[in-house]
Structure 1
Amino acid sequence: MMTNKVTQGVERAPHRSLFKAMGYVDEELKQPLIGIVNSHNEIIPGHKHLKQISEAVKSGVRMAGGTPMEFSTIAVCDGIAMNHLGMHYSLASREIIADSIEIVASAHDFDALVFVPNCDKVVPGMLMAAARINKPSIFVSGGPMLAGRFKDKPVSLSNVFEAVGAVKAGKMSEADLYEMEENACPSCGSCSGMFTANSMNCLTEAIGMALPGGGTIPAVFAHRERLAKYTGIKIMEILKENIRPKDIMSKAALENALSVDMALGCSSNTILHLLAIAHELEAEIDLQRINQVSSETPQLCKLSPAGDQHIEDLYYAGGIQAVMKELEYKLDTSVITATGKSLAENLQHAANLDTNVIRPASDPYSKTGGIAVLFGNLAPDGAVVKQGAVAPEMLIHQGPAKVYDGEEAAVEAIMSGQIVAGDVVVIRYEGPRGGPGMREMLTPTSALAGMGLDKQVALLTDGRFSGATRGASIGHVSPEAKAYGPIAVVKNGDIIAIEIPNRKLDVQISEQEMKERLDSEKEAIDAKQPRVTKGYLKRYAEKVQSANTGAVFQK
């Protein structure tokens, strides 16, 4: 079990001396060294309590005969970074997170790793690092925030964003907005809906890298702290059995996670992150295969923003294990998981405890999954929509384009009443390279929802929409504008045809006209400067690829 190269033997006396400078004793240095990767900070509600989670993990490691050593990585709060310069840095942080963990874990040769994430880019960044390092690893997140209450109804962060649009439209008072602001986020934890953070934590459990309950136990419950202790104990068992991330995150496990993604109605950003994780695993996922999984998987849950239920409701209904039990007929249950057992063994005692939250597979919300990938002359390499949160009347839509180079111009148009029923709002130069950083845009979608236009207006972008988004919001349009994608040459008034059930996204111009426009606009596209042209984002823009790759760096 012991493989550490930095504490054993005569020639490692200088190394042990440095450990002893920190108070470690010989007995600790003779045990396996377990790296605890903690993204704790005091700027993100999902991460503020992670010191407590990490301490519980360390207790479990010590109980099982290991020596825990904690180190940190960065994190960005998407909600706080939203709709200003900060959002350019969010997706880009994923690569820094993966790289920084690789550096520290490899430089100090830990025997095994426990990852303690919670929010949007941290979870996939850590999964990418785990795949890359491939030492025995396990995850325990900080858990979801509890839902708030406003006028005796459950609310979450997305409701506050939508309320801003309602105030602008004169449908809500500023006093009510303040009351909602005061009550929407009542505890620490990842924001309470099936937004990107909770989506990725649920999928971490579904893929087998976290213990049962990891995706849904609320942050403030003692059950979460107990789970963290068991996670610390379990990493020692995984180390003894030499079970590694690439053993757990097999191609079959990735497909299991995709099926759970579709059943839950997860954030469209999960596709971006699953592609990137698969890239690290050298187990490429084809976008057409994602559509196939979606077509074969029923949507069993409609959590906020698609419905009024929240992650705590999913927890009480039996959590991810209950969802997987409903899907057992189509999952590969032979895969190994972080429990050290197969998925089939894990699911033996799982049960759906509330069919109002988790519909039976025989009576789903929809016969197809919560996410769809669209193709057409506007998105030759694909675009992604959270179809489970789209109103039925917007699943097929045609309308004139209103085109904006960047989020700010689109938000100004929406807030000033320039967008009317039937329009298709096109927001471009927000891709991974063109933004740079592929900003998440919750403000325009929430403003339209708050104004009551989410069932009448579609949005599409080469950037991203938040997991808190609902409505016909189509993101990840690839190739992006800066990579000479067709979205770069859409003009005001062009008719855009959206057919989500048929997986189609087209602008109604001829192939010849499209070619002529792209040829004539090449110099203008080249001249278009990203909004940040220095520092890390300059280097990021030079290396990153369009969203259909998972926005990974060029090899």
Structure 2
Amino acid sequence: MTQAGRPLRSNLQEGSSRWAVRRAQWRALGISDEDMTKPKIAVVNSSSKLAICFSHLDGIVPVVEEAIRAAGGLPFEVRTAAPSDFITSAGRDGRYILPSRDLIPNDIEVAVEGAQLDGMVTLASCDKTAPAHLMAAARLDIPSIVVGCGYQPSGEYRGEHVDIEEVFLAAGSVAAGRMSLEHLCGMADNAIRGPGVCAGLGTANTMHMACEALGMSLTGTTPVLANSPAMWDGARRAGARIVELVTAGLRPRQVMTPAAFRNAVTVMLAISGSVNSIKHLQAVAHEAAVDVDVPGLFAELADRVPLLCAVRPNGPHFIEDLEAAGGTRAVLAQLADLLDLDVRTVDGGTLREALAGSTPTGSTVADEEVVRPLDRPFAAGPSIVVVHGSLAPGGAVVKRPVIDRGSRRFEGTALCFSSRDEALEALGRGKVRPGTVLVVRGLGVVGGPGMALGSAVVFALEGAGLGDTVAVVTDGQMSGLVNVGTVVGEVTPEAALGGPLALVEDGDRIVIDVDRRTVDLEVPDDVLAARRQRLGTPEPGPDHGWLSAYRRLVTPVAAGAVLTAAAPGRGPGPEGRRP
């Protein structure tokens, strides 16, 4: 029983066969009779030795376990897949990256639901783990807390700051002959000085902050420097708090309400978070059975939410500056007039109560130059823009820097490729000229399959000095660090599902107007109709393995790219549309 008298689902009927064989297993592990009756908590460890992002998580597990035991619970470590965008992207042009997100909640479901554990503390690190943990919490709907395990300390090379983003960007300069391989190696060797996720407001830190904005991480715990005293304190508090959550019976679906998702989108717009947050939050909403349209919220709130933060790669400040200024809690405080403060959080009360609590510095917002007030934003216009048009009837996403370097309108002629390598090869041969719109298609969730990364093309253009004069339109996804030039990503319907992107030919006129939220293909309808008649059936792709299963089950990216038996939206119809 719990302290409040509610029965624990993990306490099986004494004398039953399931109880007996579990008792035999657990007694062999040294678990006492008394411990077997306590709240049983999964410590979900998405850990791997393949990447620095996860290298510290194994050390966090015993600290969380100790806190759980001290609070009266019984912890069990559960391991899952641990994808890193910069490591797992090597195979199949990065097509394993997004599908790996959907492996993790299934790993968790098998272990936690199969064992009928009572609650979870999940240790989130690189890009896909935080949304995957939220998806699992929403699906299982047992008391859960997501712990953001921190960003990596960045380095210095030849007297200048260097981090993983700059290494990623510099690789394009090497390809264009504007930087030596020796210099790139020097940057790479000094960019990362410890464990944790990318030191910028890419997808990982964005999603850590989204967890707190949704109410699923303890208030004041994101972003945080990995292995810092603040990180360890947050991990210990989560271990203690999860036992209280089980006792109180507070479940994720009571926290992740439509109002909570609206709050989270408001925060994403205010910080200019990663565009990947759109599909990840939609996937979480799907698992929580919450009827919210996340892309629609981004479109609706875009002109209402001012930009309060300008953190790299979006502006001059570092992620360390954002943490020192008060992090997500400070952003929430500045946005208070735009938020529903009556939503619940895993702290136990409402968001209003959480923001009113004490902070280590005594001030919720320690630096209003880093986290600005509503009446003094960095910019009034959005940097995350959902666009529509004849080329993207289901919608697409554009990310703009805080200060645009060029026009928010781009008009040019198409140059089409069916893979990022083809586009990079053409760029290397000097075939890409100013005024070109690179159309890189067949990279969507079905066409990939798995939504290949187009970031290398964007950074190669920047390295070649063409970032301001060449646009990119793709049904693939971008790294959360991409914030240069005019890039239209995640076009829906994707080419493999018969979207207009499949009909574009070299020389076609494409017009991108960010202010008008449009992306159009200026080709007569009768010409497009004739091309569609000539369009053959796409190759079915692999017939075995994980990507094959993913291709058959995945929904369109506008629906979160989640896995369902029905897999709706298999065509250019309304199921795949962004509102």
Range class of TM-score, shorter chain? over 0.9
1:546 aligned residue = 556
Q: How does 1:19-38 map to 2 (within 5 A)?
A: 19-38=26-45
2:324 aligned residue = 316
**Paired letter, 1:380:** P
2:474 aligned residue = 461
**Paired letter, 1:22:** L
Check whether the contact 2:269–2:298 (CA below 8 A) recurs between aligned residues. no
Check whether the contact 1:391–1:455 (CA below 8 A) recurs between aligned residues. no
Check whether the contact 1:39–1:47 (CA below 8 A) recurs between aligned residues. yes
**Segment drifting more, 111-120 vs 392-401:** 392-401
Q: How does 1:50-129 map to 2 (within 5 A)?
A: 50-82=57-89, 84-85=91-92, 87-129=94-136
Q: 1:324 to 1:490 in 2, by over 3 A?
A: same
Q: How does 1:97-246 map to 2 (within 5 A)?
A: 97-246=104-253
Deviations 1:248-301 (A, max 9, x none): 111100110000000111111111111111111222333333211112111111
Deviations 1:320-359 (A, max 9, x none): 0001111111000100101002111111255222233222
Check whether the contact 1:263–1:370 (CA below 8 A) recurs between aligned residues. no
Check whether the contact 1:322–1:352 (CA below 8 A) recurs between aligned residues. yes
Q: 1: CA distance between counterparts of 2:10 and 2:279?
A: 36
1:423 aligned residue = 436
Check whether the contact 1:439–1:464 (CA below 8 A) recurs between aligned residues. yes
**Paired letter, 2:527:** E
**Paired letter, 2:346:** A
Q: 1:175 to 1:356 in 2, by over 3 A?
A: farther
Q: 1: CA distance between counterparts of 2:503 and 2:120?
A: 47
Q: Secondary structure at the match of 2:406?
A: helix
2:544 aligned residue = 534
Q: How does 1:370-389 map to 2 (within 5 A)?
A: 370-388=383-401
Q: 1:117 to 1:491 in 2, by over 3 A?
A: same
2:445 aligned residue = 432
Deviations 1:443-466 (A, max 9, x none): 111112222222222111111010
Q: 1:247 to 1:144 in 2, by over 3 A?
A: same
Q: How does 1:213-292 map to 2 (within 5 A)?
A: 213-286=220-293, 287-292=295-300
Check whether the contact 1:261–1:370 (CA below 8 A) recurs between aligned residues. no
Q: 2: CA distance between counterparts of 1:495 and 1:174?
A: 37
| Alignment counterpart, residue 4 of structure 1, candidates 1, 9, 12 | 9
1:360 aligned residue = 373
Check whether the contact 1:299–1:388 (CA below 8 A) recurs between aligned residues. no
Alpha-carbon distance, 1:138 to partner: 0.6
Q: 1:86 to 1:25 in 2, by over 3 A?
A: farther
Q: Secondary structure at the match of 2:375?
A: coil
Alpha-carbon distance, 1:212 to partner: 2.2
Q: 2: CA distance between counterparts of 1:295 and 1:429?
A: 32
Deviations 1:492-533 (A, max 9, x none): 111111111211010111233333322331xx2x23354x44
**Paired letter, 2:9:** N
Check whether the contact 1:147–1:310 (CA below 8 A) recurs between aligned residues. no
Check whether the contact 1:127–1:277 (CA below 8 A) recurs between aligned residues. yes
Q: 1: CA distance between counterparts of 2:252 and 2:130?
A: 14
**Paired letter, 2:558:** N
CA-based RMSD: 1.7
Q: 2: CA distance between counterparts of 1:390 and 1:398?
A: 20
**Paired letter, 2:440:** I
Q: How does 1:330-345 map to 2 (within 5 A)?
A: 330-345=338-353
Q: 2: CA distance between counterparts of 1:7 and 1:50?
A: 31
Q: 1:416 to 1:184 in 2, by over 3 A?
A: farther
Check whether the contact 1:82–1:441 (CA below 8 A) recurs between aligned residues. no
Structure 1 runs of 4+ aligned residues shifted over 6 Å read none
**Segment drifting more, 69-78 vs 349-358:** 349-358
Q: How does 1:376-525 map to 2 (within 5 A)?
A: 376-388=389-401, 391-471=404-484, 472-521=486-535, 524=536
Check whether the contact 1:495–1:507 (CA below 8 A) recurs between aligned residues. yes
**Paired letter, 1:342:** T
Q: What is the TM-score of this pair, normalised by structure 2?
A: 0.92
Q: 1: CA distance between counterparts of 2:85 and 2:290?
A: 28
Q: Secondary structure at the match of 2:415?
A: strand
Q: 1:69 to 1:84 in 2, by over 3 A?
A: closer
2:572 aligned residue = none
1:329 aligned residue = 337
Q: 1: CA distance between counterparts of 2:487 and 2:278?
A: 15
**Paired letter, 2:505:** K
Q: Secondary structure at the match of 1:368?
A: coil
Q: 1:140 to 1:337 in 2, by over 3 A?
A: same
Alpha-carbon distance, 1:77 to partner: 0.9
**Paired letter, 1:486:** P
Q: 2: CA distance between counterparts of 1:544 and 1:320?
A: 32
**Paired letter, 1:540:** Y
Q: 1:451 to 1:359 in 2, by over 3 A?
A: farther
**Paired letter, 2:544:** K
Q: Secondary structure at the match of 2:150?
A: coil
Q: 1: CA distance between counterparts of 2:563 and 2:213?
A: 26
Check whether the contact 2:89–2:96 (CA below 8 A) recurs between aligned residues. no
Alpha-carbon distance, 1:52 to partner: 1.6
Give the aligned length. 551
Q: 1:239 to 1:368 in 2, by over 3 A?
A: farther
**Paired letter, 1:300:** L
Q: Secondary structure at the match of 2:52?
A: coil
Check whether the contact 1:35–1:113 (CA below 8 A) recurs between aligned residues. yes
Q: 2: CA distance between counterparts of 1:459 and 1:83?
A: 22
**Paired letter, 2:338:** K
Of all paired residues, the percent bearing the same amino acid is 35
Q: 2: CA distance between counterparts of 1:204 and 1:487?
A: 34
Q: 2: CA distance between counterparts of 1:225 and 1:66?
A: 19
Check whether the contact 2:378–2:402 (CA below 8 A) recurs between aligned residues. no
**Paired letter, 2:503:** V
Q: 1:17 to 1:81 in 2, by over 3 A?
A: closer
Q: 1:510 to 1:99 in 2, by over 3 A?
A: same
Alpha-carbon distance, 1:389 to partner: 5.7
Q: 1: CA distance between counterparts of 2:20 and 2:557?
A: 49
Q: 1:83 to 1:306 in 2, by over 3 A?
A: farther
For structure 1, which runs of at least 5 residues remain unmatched after alignment?
none
Q: 2: CA distance between counterparts of 1:515 and 1:346?
A: 57
